[in-house]
Structure 1
Amino acid sequence: MGFMDNVKAKLSPAKDKVSDLAQQHGGKIDQGLDKAARTVDEKTKGKYSDKIVSGTQKAKDAVERLSHKDGGTTPPAS
Protein backbone atom coordinates (compact mmCIF):
# COMPACT_ATOMS: atom_id res chain seq x y z
CA MET A 1 0.00 0.00 0.00
CA GLY A 2 1.41 3.35 -1.02
CA PHE A 3 1.74 6.45 1.12
CA MET A 4 -1.34 8.15 -0.32
CA ASP A 5 -3.40 5.00 0.16
CA ASN A 6 -2.40 4.96 3.83
CA VAL A 7 -3.32 8.63 4.22
CA LYS A 8 -6.69 8.14 2.53
CA ALA A 9 -7.47 5.11 4.69
CA LYS A 10 -6.63 6.97 7.89
CA LEU A 11 -8.57 10.11 6.93
CA SER A 12 -11.71 8.30 5.80
CA PRO A 13 -13.33 8.21 9.29
CA ALA A 14 -12.58 11.92 9.75
CA LYS A 15 -14.16 12.74 6.38
CA ASP A 16 -17.28 10.83 7.37
CA LYS A 17 -17.48 12.70 10.68
CA VAL A 18 -17.04 16.09 8.99
CA SER A 19 -19.70 15.13 6.46
CA ASP A 20 -22.11 14.21 9.27
CA LEU A 21 -21.46 17.50 11.05
CA ALA A 22 -21.91 19.49 7.84
CA GLN A 23 -25.25 17.73 7.27
CA GLN A 24 -26.46 18.36 10.81
CA HIS A 25 -25.26 21.94 11.19
CA GLY A 26 -25.16 23.33 7.65
CA GLY A 27 -27.52 26.19 8.47
CA LYS A 28 -25.51 27.28 11.49
CA ILE A 29 -22.29 27.09 9.48
CA ASP A 30 -23.79 29.29 6.76
CA GLN A 31 -24.98 31.81 9.36
CA GLY A 32 -21.51 31.87 10.91
CA LEU A 33 -19.89 32.43 7.52
CA ASP A 34 -22.28 35.31 6.80
CA LYS A 35 -21.61 36.88 10.19
CA ALA A 36 -17.83 36.57 9.75
CA ALA A 37 -18.08 38.06 6.24
CA ARG A 38 -20.10 41.05 7.50
CA THR A 39 -17.63 41.64 10.32
CA VAL A 40 -14.60 41.53 8.02
CA ASP A 41 -16.35 43.75 5.47
CA GLU A 42 -17.11 46.31 8.17
CA LYS A 43 -13.54 46.21 9.51
CA THR A 44 -12.11 46.75 6.04
CA LYS A 45 -14.71 49.45 5.30
CA GLY A 46 -15.92 47.64 2.18
CA LYS A 47 -12.52 47.75 0.49
CA TYR A 48 -12.54 43.98 -0.20
CA SER A 49 -16.28 43.36 -0.50
CA ASP A 50 -16.06 41.49 -3.81
CA LYS A 51 -13.35 39.17 -2.50
CA ILE A 52 -15.23 38.60 0.75
CA VAL A 53 -18.43 37.70 -1.10
CA SER A 54 -16.52 35.37 -3.41
CA GLY A 55 -14.70 33.65 -0.54
CA THR A 56 -17.88 33.27 1.48
CA GLN A 57 -19.68 31.67 -1.45
CA LYS A 58 -16.80 29.25 -2.03
CA ALA A 59 -16.85 28.27 1.64
CA LYS A 60 -20.63 27.72 1.51
CA ASP A 61 -20.24 25.60 -1.62
CA ALA A 62 -17.59 23.50 0.13
CA VAL A 63 -19.89 22.94 3.11
CA GLU A 64 -22.67 21.94 0.70
CA ARG A 65 -20.39 19.42 -1.03
CA LEU A 66 -19.30 18.00 2.31
CA SER A 67 -22.86 17.54 3.46
CA HIS A 68 -23.69 15.26 0.51
CA LYS A 69 -22.56 11.70 1.10
CA ASP A 70 -23.54 10.36 -2.32
CA GLY A 71 -20.00 9.60 -3.44
CA GLY A 72 -18.78 13.14 -3.91
CA THR A 73 -21.10 14.13 -6.72
CA THR A 74 -22.09 17.73 -6.75
CA PRO A 75 -25.69 18.60 -5.96
CA PRO A 76 -27.86 19.91 -8.79
CA ALA A 77 -27.87 23.65 -9.28
CA SER A 78 -30.93 25.37 -7.88
Structure 2
Amino acid sequence: MAAFDDITKKAQAFLQDGKVQDALKSERAEGVSDKVLGGVADAVKKATGGKYDEKIDGARDAADKKLGNE
Protein backbone atom coordinates (compact mmCIF):
# COMPACT_ATOMS: atom_id res chain seq x y z
CA MET A 1 0.00 0.00 0.00
CA ALA A 2 2.94 2.32 0.59
CA ALA A 3 3.84 2.14 -3.10
CA PHE A 4 0.31 3.22 -4.04
CA ASP A 5 0.52 6.15 -1.61
CA ASP A 6 3.84 7.19 -3.17
CA ILE A 7 2.37 7.05 -6.68
CA THR A 8 -0.64 9.06 -5.52
CA LYS A 9 1.58 11.78 -4.04
CA LYS A 10 3.66 11.96 -7.21
CA ALA A 11 0.54 12.20 -9.36
CA GLN A 12 -0.85 14.98 -7.17
CA ALA A 13 2.42 16.92 -7.41
CA PHE A 14 2.46 16.43 -11.19
CA LEU A 15 -1.07 17.76 -11.52
CA GLN A 16 -0.19 20.87 -9.49
CA ASP A 17 2.37 21.97 -12.10
CA GLY A 18 1.30 25.11 -13.99
CA LYS A 19 2.17 23.71 -17.40
CA VAL A 20 0.17 20.57 -16.70
CA GLN A 21 -2.79 22.69 -15.58
CA ASP A 22 -2.59 24.72 -18.81
CA ALA A 23 -2.52 21.53 -20.88
CA LEU A 24 -5.51 20.11 -19.00
CA LYS A 25 -7.49 23.27 -19.78
CA SER A 26 -6.74 23.20 -23.52
CA GLU A 27 -9.21 22.64 -26.36
CA ARG A 28 -7.45 19.40 -27.28
CA ALA A 29 -7.70 18.08 -23.72
CA GLU A 30 -11.43 18.84 -23.74
CA GLY A 31 -11.99 16.66 -26.80
CA VAL A 32 -9.88 13.81 -25.50
CA SER A 33 -11.41 13.94 -22.02
CA ASP A 34 -14.94 13.92 -23.44
CA LYS A 35 -14.19 10.79 -25.47
CA VAL A 36 -12.45 8.99 -22.62
CA LEU A 37 -15.00 9.92 -19.96
CA GLY A 38 -17.89 9.03 -22.24
CA GLY A 39 -16.37 5.66 -23.10
CA VAL A 40 -15.65 4.81 -19.48
CA ALA A 41 -19.14 5.89 -18.39
CA ASP A 42 -20.75 3.76 -21.10
CA ALA A 43 -18.66 0.73 -20.15
CA VAL A 44 -19.52 1.07 -16.47
CA LYS A 45 -23.22 1.53 -17.28
CA LYS A 46 -23.15 -1.64 -19.34
CA ALA A 47 -21.31 -3.54 -16.60
CA THR A 48 -23.83 -2.45 -13.96
CA GLY A 49 -26.83 -3.13 -16.14
CA GLY A 50 -28.05 0.46 -15.96
CA LYS A 51 -28.61 0.27 -12.22
CA TYR A 52 -26.39 3.28 -11.45
CA ASP A 53 -26.70 5.34 -14.63
CA GLU A 54 -27.61 8.56 -12.82
CA LYS A 55 -24.65 8.33 -10.43
CA ILE A 56 -22.29 7.41 -13.26
CA ASP A 57 -23.44 10.41 -15.29
CA GLY A 58 -22.91 12.65 -12.26
CA ALA A 59 -19.39 11.35 -11.74
CA ARG A 60 -18.61 11.77 -15.44
CA ASP A 61 -19.92 15.35 -15.39
CA ALA A 62 -17.93 16.21 -12.26
CA ALA A 63 -14.74 14.84 -13.82
CA ASP A 64 -15.45 16.68 -17.08
CA LYS A 65 -15.64 20.00 -15.23
CA LYS A 66 -12.11 19.44 -13.93
CA LEU A 67 -10.64 18.55 -17.35
CA GLY A 68 -10.48 20.53 -20.55
CA ASN A 69 -11.94 23.98 -20.90
CA GLU A 70 -15.70 23.46 -20.56
Same fold? TM cut 0.5: yes
Extract structure 1 runs of 4+ deviating beyond 3 A.
Answer: 10-13
CA distance in 2, matches of 1:29, 1:63: 7
Question: Number of matched residues?
Answer: 57
Residue equivalent to 2:9: none
Give the TM-score, by structure 1 length: 0.59
Identify unmatched segments of 5+ residues in structure 1: 1-9, 68-74
Structure 1 pair 47–28 and aligned structure 2 pair: CA distance change class (3 A): same
Structure 1 pair 54–21 and aligned structure 2 pair: CA distance change class (3 A): closer
In the TM superposition, residue 11 of structure 1 has moved relative to its aligned partner by 6.5
Give the TM-score, by structure 2 length: 0.64
- Please give the root-mean-square deviation of Cα atoms over the aligned residues, in Å: 2.6
The structure whose RCO (Cα within 8 Å, separation 6+) is larger is 2
Larger Rg: 1
Q: Secondary structure at the match of 2:17?
A: helix
Matched, 1:56 2:60: yes
Matched, 1:17 2:20: yes
CA distance in 1, matches of 2:67, 2:22: 9
Q: Give aligned-pair identity as a percent.
A: 23
